[in-house]
Amino acid sequence: MKLLQHFDVAGKRVLVRVDFNVPLDKKTGEIADDRRIRSALATIEYLIGQRAKVILLSHLGRPDGRWVESLRMTKVAADLFHLLNRKVHAANDCVGPAVLTQALALQPGEVLLLENLRFHSEEESNDPEFAQALAQLGEVYVNDAFSASHREHASIVGIARLLPSCAGFLMQKEVNYLRDPMESPESPFVVISGGAKVSDKLVFLDRLLEKVDTLLIGGGMAFTFLKAQGRQIGDSLCEDSLLEKAKEILHQAEQVGVELLLPIDVVVAQTMEEGVPSKVVSIENIPAGYKGLDIGPRTRVLFTERIQCARTIVWNGPVGVFENPSFAEGTQAVAAAMAASNATTIVGGGDSAAAVDRFGLAAYMSHVSMGGGASLEFLEGRILPGIAVLEDSR
């Protein structure tokens, strides 16, 4: 990819595709977590320092091509104002004559935030005329939205085909950190895979077996593997259609010498609601009517021991329902072990990133990806359209 630092942007109108798709509080409508905005500051502040005219493009939520008042970028502009400590001009749309006039009137070092891209259905359909309307606002295009780069949208792919294009600093960081462990990891290479479903991680797991030394599996997906081993799992989450695939993965791991560890004890309850009674049981004794909702204390020790010995660690997916304090200890133990490790520690996936942030441990990781689904697809070895088009632009 061409890189931002290799471009002369002084005095130029620079279109920056950022991902300001921040979560909003359901009650107040205010921004609940502005990590995605903060993660883009390095690129924005660099462009301001280079005296570029900065034009920011982003989506927010899923308005499905309709104007939704609660999904306007007003709150994002206010947050960005406080983070940058400078005025942020806000446009009432992302295309059209009025927006073009605002863009052309920008002075070096000024920032303009466009309205929600997804108020226009043409964004997600990668409509060429919409891409052209966006492109005419700028002279250079910077993609700093790795987390949206698995989408072939107008602001991701369309503009990049029309303007001199490059990767921003967050994009560069994401690609470098996520690429290196899958191409040349320092051994022992340990991967923690969690989350709800095996189906979400099949390609990821298949690719890992070529690279990893130890694979730790937790979360809801672990129970499909446990059932594939013939164990009784009570009412725990299970994808019965993937039992045979789970058996294949277990067999393949054994054949190639990968240590694949599943929970040896779990925290169970009849529901995952906060405050419900819970108990710790071994995997041989999960009672009928109970769901496994977190790894147990013996499994935490087992997983921690493997993490402590690692030189490269990739974590994708929590190992319990960490949003509920009753079932958060396993995920917190994994995060704490990684934070204390001297290994290269990479956290990929929205839920895992939210977990380390909630536990106050994000700063102790080598890299916490903001990529969500894009992180997983990249780790699976898929070609992301937003990255491919930047490579083609060379």
CA 30, 31, 33, 38 torsion-angle sign? negative
Residue 41 vs residues 46, 297, 332: alpha-carbon distances, Å: 8, 40, 28
CA distance 363 to 58: 26
Q: Which long-range contacts (CB under 8 A, 24 or more apart) does 296-300 make?
A: 296/263, 296/264, 296/265, 296/266, 296/267, 296/330, 297/265, 297/329, 298/264, 298/265, 299/218, 299/263, 299/264, 299/265, 299/266, 299/330, 300/329, 300/330, 300/333, 300/334
Task: Choose the catalytic residue: 2, 35, 51, 197.
Answer: 197
Active site residue 197: yes
Q: Evaluate the omega torsion of the peptide bond into residue 263 and state whether it is cis, within 30 degrees of 0.
A: no
333: closest CA among 357, 307, 310, 351? 307
Asked if 139 contacts 9 with a C-beta cutoff of 8 angstroms, the reply is: no
332: closest CA among 147, 185, 186, 192? 192
- Which residues have C-beta within 8 Å of that of residue 82, sequence separation ≥ 6? none
- Which residues have C-beta within 8 Å of that of residue 241, sequence separation ≥ 6? none
Active site residue 36: yes
Task: Choose the catalytic residue: 12, 36, 53, 227.
Answer: 36
Q: Are strands 259-261 and 278-282 parallel, antiparallel or unpaired?
A: unpaired
Active site residue 350: yes
Task: Choose the catalytic residue: 61, 109, 373, 381.
Answer: 373
Task: Choose the catalytic residue: 350, 371, 372, 386.
Answer: 350
Q: Are strands 291-295 and 111-113 parallel, antiparallel or unpaired?
A: unpaired
Asked if 332 contacts 392 with a C-beta cutoff of 8 angstroms, the reply is: no
Q: Which residues are catalytic?
A: 36, 197, 350, 373
